[in-house]
């Protein structure tokens, strides 16, 4: 555990804080210094380290099986859930090996984690900060301040983390493209609902959502920590009471077969034996990351990102004359309801994806779609203190950029952008009612083919259209 914190002892650890895993919101966390590691162990708690590190930027890829209808499914059939992830894991290893990146590979109760670091003194770190010079990070000073610890994330780390998010997006699109042909389940970036499969609505998620939030609000679980997600998430407590889900652990997974890793994550004695010989030190990659950054800059996602940030959100004072005038009457009912009831629909990736696709089809530039979403986040829709902790502009940019970018780059061909698929995903509020999603799909595909994405002038976005 101490190896993973950075340094040779808790006193020398380079991570900024320790915390429980899988709690609901960052502001409710009980943050501890690395020297307080024993607090978590003595109380049989799970424990994670801050993604924020004092000496390096931590890169992290999180892969997991998700079942929206039966959340306990991965824990009840570990063999199946890990087997289903194999095509995605293979794609990640192949891609990273092509850049000479050999990350630390960790296994949790329902998925895989790949972790490596870029020192703040490295040229790659500097190049990541340079990626954000052409656009604001959207994170104000108070969003970088961690009141619990009375510390502020350095500005260069904030910029580098934003730049890393762009590169990880590029990498994630490649993972999705490579794994899609061999995966028996849909491979989605973040937890996006799909239609039903063999055991309900199930996917393999490449979860890069951490790159949509301020650096100091995110953590990553420690190897050999208890894995208590089944206890903290609503998966059906009767299953736990029946003893069908036992104690699980987080372990290094390098070289372990599926059968063997399942034995170890279930058995503390086996895990302790593994800890005697397995390293959990996060490997450093500088030059290798420069190669990845170089490929990103020449890629379709890199080109899209530069176009995305070529426009700005409308300023707050102009929202009443701009975003607030968005004509809901021309939108399908499933989409207009998202804007009418943003809390909590605009916190759910599948609804954001539906909104982004629709507004792209109507000619909106994706940065203004993000501005529209931000305008809902920053209005009084019962959010409480949520957006005092997280960054509304950054979150809106991240999800809009992700979903619009996949379409613009050709990773997403809209196969599920239609009424039937929307109903199967359970996103439809008026089954059997009038809907125009099929027309919007045709319009959007035509716009991409004719290179007319985001072509409608901003001052005409708020006038009803006679033709899509």
Asked if the model's pLDDT at residue 219 lies above 90, the reply is yes
What's the pLDDT score for residue 468?
Answer: 44
Asked if the model's pLDDT at residue 208 lies above 60, the reply is yes
The model's pTM is 0.93
- Which residue is associated with the tokens 């979403």? 373
- Least confident range from 13-17, 208-212, 252-256: namely 252-256
Asked if the model's pLDDT at residue 238 lies above 70, the reply is no
Where do the domains of the chain lie?
2-291, 314-460
- CA–CA distance, 426 with 280 (Å, rounded to integer): 41
Q: In percent, how much of the chain has pLDDT > 90?
A: 78
What's the pLDDT score for residue 235?
Answer: 59
Q: What are phi and psi of 314, to 5 degrees?
A: -65, 145
Q: What are phi and psi of 64, to 5 degrees?
A: -155, 150
- CA–CA distance, 83 with 143 (Å, rounded to integer): 40
Q: What are phi and psi of 335, to 5 degrees?
A: -85, -45
What's the pLDDT score for residue 148?
Answer: 77
Both tokens of residue 80? 């199946």
What's the pLDDT score for residue 431?
Answer: 67
Instruction: Report the 10 Å Cβ neighbour count for 295.
Output: 16
Both tokens of residue 160? 């580098």
Confidence of residue 430 (pLDDT cuts 50, 70, 90): confident
- CA–CA distance, 189 with 177 (Å, rounded to integer): 11
Which of 34, 62, 385, 83 lies closest to 229, judged by CA? 62
- CA–CA distance, 138 with 162 (Å, rounded to integer): 10
What's the pLDDT score for residue 241?
Answer: 47
pLDDT digits (tens, 9 = 90+) for 267-306: 999 999 999 999 999 999 999 999 999 999 999 999 999 9
Q: What are phi and psi of 135, to 5 degrees?
A: -150, 155
Asked if the model's pLDDT at residue 135 lies above 90, the reply is no
- CA–CA distance, 101 with 289 (Å, rounded to integer): 8
Both tokens of residue 436? 């125009």
What's the pLDDT score for residue 103?
Answer: 97
Q: Is the N-terminal amide bond of 295 cis, ω within 30° of 0?
A: no
Asked if the model's pLDDT at residue 137 lies above 70, the reply is no
What's the pLDDT score for residue 459?
Answer: 77
**Across residues 440-445, what is the average pLDDT?**
94
pLDDT digits (tens, 9 = 90+) for 351-392: 999 999 999 999 999 999 999 999 999 999 999 989 988 999
For every residue of 158-227, DSSP letters joined together read HHHHHHHHHHHHHHHHHHHHHHHTT-SS-EEESS-----BTTBSEEEEEE-GGGGS-GGG-EEEPTT-EE
pLDDT digits (tens, 9 = 90+) for 60-108: 999 999 999 998 899 989 999 999 999 999 999 999 999 999 999 999 9
What's the pLDDT score for residue 467?
Answer: 44
- CA–CA distance, 26 with 37 (Å, rounded to integer): 19
* Choice between 20 and 22, residue whose per-residue pLDDT is larger: 20
**Across residues 103-120, what is the average pLDDT?**
96
Both tokens of residue 164? 């890393």
CA 281 to chain centre: 24
Task: Please give the DSSP secondary-structure letter assigned to residue 147.
Answer: T
- CA–CA distance, 319 with 323 (Å, rounded to integer): 5
pLDDT digits (tens, 9 = 90+) for 297-337: 999 999 999 999 999 999 999 999 999 999 998 899 999 99
* Choice between 346 and 144, residue whose per-residue pLDDT is larger: 346
Sheet of 219-221: strand order equals 18-19, 48-50, 219-221
* Choice between 464 and 362, residue whose per-residue pLDDT is larger: 362
Integer distance in angstroms from the first to the last C-alpha of the chain? 56
Q: In percent, how much of the chain has pLDDT > 70?
A: 91
- CA–CA distance, 220 with 73 (Å, rounded to integer): 23
């Amino acid at each position: 555990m101490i190896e993973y914190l950075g340094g040779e002892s808790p006193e020398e650890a380079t991570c900024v804080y320790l915390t429980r895993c899988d709690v609901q919101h960052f502001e409710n966390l009980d943050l501890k210094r690395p020297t307080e590691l024993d607090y978590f162990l003595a109380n049989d708690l799970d424990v994670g380290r801050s993604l924020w590190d004092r000496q390096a930027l931590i890169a992290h890829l999180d892969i997991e099986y998700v079942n929206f209808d039966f959340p306990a499914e991965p824990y009840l059939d570990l063999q199946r859930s890990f087997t289903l992830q194999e095509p995605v894991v293979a794609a990640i290893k192949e891609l990273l090996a092509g850049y000479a990146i050999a990350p630390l590979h960790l296994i949790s109760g329902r998925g895989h984690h790949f972790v490596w670091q870029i020192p703040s003194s490295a040229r790659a770190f500097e190049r990541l900060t340079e990626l954000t010079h052409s656009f604001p990070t959207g994170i104000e000073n108070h969003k970088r301040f961690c009141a619990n610890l009375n510390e502020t994330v350095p500005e260069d780390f904030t910029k580098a983390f934003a730049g890393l998010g762009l590169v990880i997006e590029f990498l994630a699109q490649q993972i999705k493209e490579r794994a899609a042909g061999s995966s028996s389940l849909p491979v989605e970036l973040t937890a996006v609902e799909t239609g039903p499969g063999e055991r309900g609505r199930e996917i393999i998620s490449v979860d890069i959502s951490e790159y949509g939030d301020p650096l100091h609000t995110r953590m990553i679980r420690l190897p050999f920590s208890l894995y208590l997600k089944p206890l903290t998430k609503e998966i059906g407590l009767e299953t736990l009471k029946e003893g069908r889900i036992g104690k699980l652990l987080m372990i290094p997974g390098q070289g372990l077969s599926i059968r063997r890793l399942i034995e170890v994550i279930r058995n503390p004695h086996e895990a302790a034996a593994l800890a005697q010989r397995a390293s959990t030190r996060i490997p450093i990659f500088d030059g290798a990351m420069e190669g990845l950054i170089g490929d990103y800059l020449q890629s379709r996602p890199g080109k899209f990102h530069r176009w995305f940030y070529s426009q700005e959100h409308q300023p707050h004072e102009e929202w009443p004359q701009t975003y607030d005038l968005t004509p809901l009457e021309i939108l399908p009912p499933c989409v207009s309801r998202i804007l009418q009831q943003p809390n909590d629909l605009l916190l759910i990736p599948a609804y954001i994806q539906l909104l982004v696709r629709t507004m792209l089809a109507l000619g909106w530039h994706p940065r203004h779609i993000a501005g529209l979403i931000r305008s809902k986040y920053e209005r009084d829709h019962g959010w409480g203190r949520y957006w005092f902790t997280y960054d509304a502009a950054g979150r809106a940019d991240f999800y809009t950029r992700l979903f619009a970018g996949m379409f613009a780059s050709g990773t997403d061909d809209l196969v599920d952008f239609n009424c039937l698929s929307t109903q199967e995903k359970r996103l439809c509020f008026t089954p059997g009612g009038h809907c125009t999603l099929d027309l919007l799909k045709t319009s959007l595909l035509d716009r991409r083919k004719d290179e007319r994405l985001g072509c409608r002038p901003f001052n005409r976005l708020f006038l009803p259209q006679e033709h899509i």
